[in-house]
Structures are given as C-alpha cells and as structure tokens.
Structure 1
Amino acid sequence: MKGVVKLISALTTFVLAFIALGTGPVSANGTGSMIGLAGPPVAYLCEDADYQGYCLGLYEGTRINKLDEKFFNDKASSIKILDNRYNVTVYEHSNLTGRSTTYLFSDRDMSDENIGNDEASSLVVSANQEELNGVYLYDHYGMSGDWIKVTSNANTIPLNDKISSIRIVGPYDITIFEHANFTGRSLNFSGNANPEGTTILDLVPYGFNDITSSILITKR
C-alpha cells in the first residue's frame, strides 16, 4: 500500500509540474494551451535557444512575479511571439525588478540582450500601444541588442556606425548611407506583408556592418 501511495504522489507531482510549466516544445503554429486558461497563448518562453526545450505558454494579461513558481526561474533562453498585438517584458529579478528587455518580436537567442540568457525571474505580457509598422535598426547580428525604430529620414542616426541588422515591418523602403547627410555608399531594402517583417540578419555580407550614418525612408 505504501508503494501505491508513493506512486500516486509521484504522479501527482509530475502532473502539477507539467500544468504549471505549460506545454512542451513550441510548435511552429503555436498550438497548445495551459489548463484553466481560455484561448491560445500569445507567446512562449523557452528554456533553450531556437525555441527548444520546455516552453512556458504566456497569455494576454499574464503577469508572473516569480518564475520559480512555474519552475522556470533563470531558465529562459529564447522567446517566441505568436501574436504581434502583444509584447513580453522579462525582468532579471522577481516582482518585475532589475534589468529588463521588452520583446516585440521573437528572439531565438536571448544571450545578447540586456536581460541575458538564463536570467529571467519575472515577466509581464502587455498589449502593444502603437502599431509595429516601421523600420527597426539593431546594433547586433540577427536583430538583437540595442535598437531604434524609425519611420522618417534622418541625416544622422542615434546608433551611428553601429547598425548590424535590420527589420522592416509594413510598406516601407529604406536606403542606408555610409556617411551623414545621405552621402557615401548606399544600400536599399524593401518591406513585405509578413507580420514579422523583412529581416536582414547580417549586414556583413553586404560590406555594410557598423558603418551606417544616415537613412532615407519611403512609405509605399
């Protein structure tokens, strides 16, 4: 009888842990949901890079003050945004304190963000307060690191000589210039209808890494 009780106790612990954690690895179409919550998740927080390992389903209005209560403290390595009407802000410490990073789009590797890898201890899911359409300029490869959003021309940019990747969301074209005041060598990129935007992962193959100083923006 003791053996049966121990077995039931172990199974109960496993089931509760599974429910608290959410689904397993995220699927490409974002299927799966957590018991007791209506509707599909709007994002997943995953323990390994490239959205692998166990993933915690996040829902509209989710606020988790202590990720250790979800067996997920200091485990997050990637984040998958399934519904671009929402963003997720993750924090270094419990109760939404410490270093933080807000994710508008999926990120396959959180290690080069301000929050870092295996550092998240709390989070909140919020509705985006402004439309995502625009051009995003990042100072690291793969749309990561510090970034700025631009929707108009700039004869100099805040991240001067630091741009390494670009995301274009919506009907925008961008021309990047080597020097200020739209001079020097230039490159042009165009957006498309993909919700995640047109992505230029790496400006190195274009010979344009860390040299952009000014930009021209055209909305089609």
Structure 2
Amino acid sequence: MGIAICAGIALSLSTACSIADAPDDPVESLDSQSSEIIGGEIAEASPWAVQVFDVRGNTGDFYQCTGTLVAPRWVLTAQHCIADEGETSAVRIGSNTYREGQRIEVDAIEVPSAEVDIALLHLTEDAGGAVVQLAPAGPAVDGTDATVYGWGSEGTPLVMAPSLKKAVIHIDGRRSDDELLATGVTGSGWSGDSGGPWFVDGLQVAVFSASSGQDGTNLHASLAGVDVARHRAWIDATIASGPTDHAEDEVVLYDLSDFSGVSQGFGIGRHNLPDMAIIGNDRASAIKVPAGLRVTVFTHHNFEGEARVFTSDADLVAAGFSDVISSFVVSRASDPQEDVVALYEHADFSGDALLYGVGSRYLIGGAWDKRISSVRVPDGFKLTLYDLFFIYSPASRVITADANLDSYDFDDQTSSFTVERP
C-alpha cells in the first residue's frame, strides 16, 4: 500500500503529495492533512526550533513547516517542505512565538535521495539558537514514547498556533527502512508541523513526515517520521563538507528553473532513472551544460519517448520541458548524434524537428500531423511511419536511414510512428 508524503500546509497552492510504496501496516493512508499538533500543550523555550517559510515574491513569507537547527548554518526538515517553482526559502529561529525570531534566508538545499522525506537547508548566516542533539546511528527506539514539536493549530487548517506546541506520541515500530511509525498519546499531527522533531531522551530520533486519520480533532492519529539514525552519516557528512559544489565540467540538473534547489551533477555517459537518485524522476526544471557538451534528454526511462537536445544552459520551464526528464545522454557536442530519430517539417532535414527515442507517437489532430517531410535515422534504429493509427493504417513505410520522404511517396503523410532499436 502507499504512504502519502505531503507538504506542510495542505491547502497552499504550492502543495503536492506523492505516493511511495511501502509494506502493509495498520495505517490505511497518510494524507495531506498532516502534521500540526492537535491536543498537546505549549512547549518550553526551544531555541533550536525553526519555522520554515516559502518566500513568494511580493506576497512575502508563507509558513510551511517546522524544522530543527542541527548546526549554526544547517536546518533539518522534511524534503516536501522545500520551496517550489517561483519560490525561495527562509527560516525563523530562536523564538517559540509564531512568525518571530531571527529571520535567515536559505541559499542551498541538500537531500540524500529524492525518495526520502528529509532535507538539510543551508543558511546564509549563522543562527543564534542552540543546536539539537541527533540520535546516533544504530539504536532502536521501537516501543518507546517520544515528544513531537510543531506550530500546530487547534484544528483550523492554515491557522497556526501562536506558540510552539508539543505532544507525547508512542513509536510503534517501522513503516519502512527509512521511516518510523507512531500513534498519538496526548496529541497528534495535522498540516503545518511536517519537518518537526520527535525526541526520545533528549535526542532527535525522527523528522515528522505525515499523519493519517486526522480531521483536526483526533489526538491518536497515526504518524510517520523519517528515521534520523538511519541518515545520521549523511547528515554529518553534509554538514562537514558544506553545500554541493559541482565541477565545472559537469552537467547539472536543478529542480527549480532559476538553477537553484535540489541539484545533481553528471559526467559524460548514459544516465538512466536509477542514476538520478538525488534529482529524481520528472523533477528537473533547469539544466547547466558546459561548453563543448551536448545533453539529449528523454521523457521516459531507458532513453525512450520524446527527446530534446541542449548544448547550453537552459530554463526548462521556458523551454516547455520541465518535470518530464527520466533519462538522458551526455556526450561531446562534436560527436555524432546516435541517440534519437529526428523528424523534420521540411525536406533536406530543415525546419522544425521532432526528436524521439525508442517508442511510439500518435500525431492525429496535433501540430505534427501530416507535417513530416524528412527524417534522420541513426544506425541501429528502425522508424515505421503510418498514415493513420499505427498498424491499422492503410499505408506505412519502414525507414532505416536518413531520407527525404518524397522519395518514399510519403511526404506530409505521417499521422503516427514507431521508433525501434532492434
């Protein structure tokens, strides 16, 4: 069954939830109305507590999540709390009062994997608050009580509590290799507290990720939190090394179109979905391409589907190709293009081109219907053109080399096609 990993403010315009596979357990679903403290009590002074905000241009700071200060310039929170397209992040530290405390902007974001709901935010200056102590790698906390903290409302979505709250929860066991499963005792969670800490004996053992069965009144809802001990080595290494500094000769994919947010660098080679562990599938919104390199990106894994070619830095939102990349090839710009079939609107390989890897495309009624006049087909590819709907078409042509289609009596006749690499 699935677990919903959901943004801190469930009703905000930037919020989204994704479903990740996990073993069956008593939780039917962990929904987007997750992670404010329902019940509980007002917390003691907590100088390590962090309020995480999205910064939305002229709109200002929009509260998103809770976090903890783990080093003078690092905040630990949930990955789904980071800024979305068109936003940046900022934090407030050192006050239990909502929207008060030292305000510091975030200049870098680090994650261990796109699939794990944990993130480190790097701050532009040192924070004045105390840092939390993190659970060391190894010890199990199953069957123990923990304390969860957050700026939770008393049941009204989008209305945060005026002061930091806390509640006792019971850690029942594991949701998955990365997550702990808990049940509220004196209180539980709803939207707004994602990214906040679970403490056992003064050590932070988890980062609050989501909850289930919460309608704004349930003190005993089920909770999921990312296991800090499991990711302690990554946390320590990231803090020690600082924000990722990509090599000048690397192609870099970013999750925000202004070349910020989560990023991952790649060298020359073929990069399939498993290689994109940090940036993740269908997430790239900008690409940095060093001089002399060419990047051929595909909408599907295994270098399949529609393709685009980039030889310089590009805002993928502006290019109409954001959040779709699932595999890509980095090569020298001077190397022959051997990864895609190119279909051109005019003869002699001129005009606009539709690039495609292995796969099929239905064109009827679209911009490319009955528009293709020439094709480039690299060695090893087979292109089959149809004048209607694939194999049900009255006429088709098989092309295995570069060609002007008038020589096949098929100029401006294509309404669907299939690309194969036998």
* TM-score, normalised relative to structure 2: 0.24
Q: What is the TM-score of this pair, normalised by structure 1? A: 0.43
Higher helix share: 1
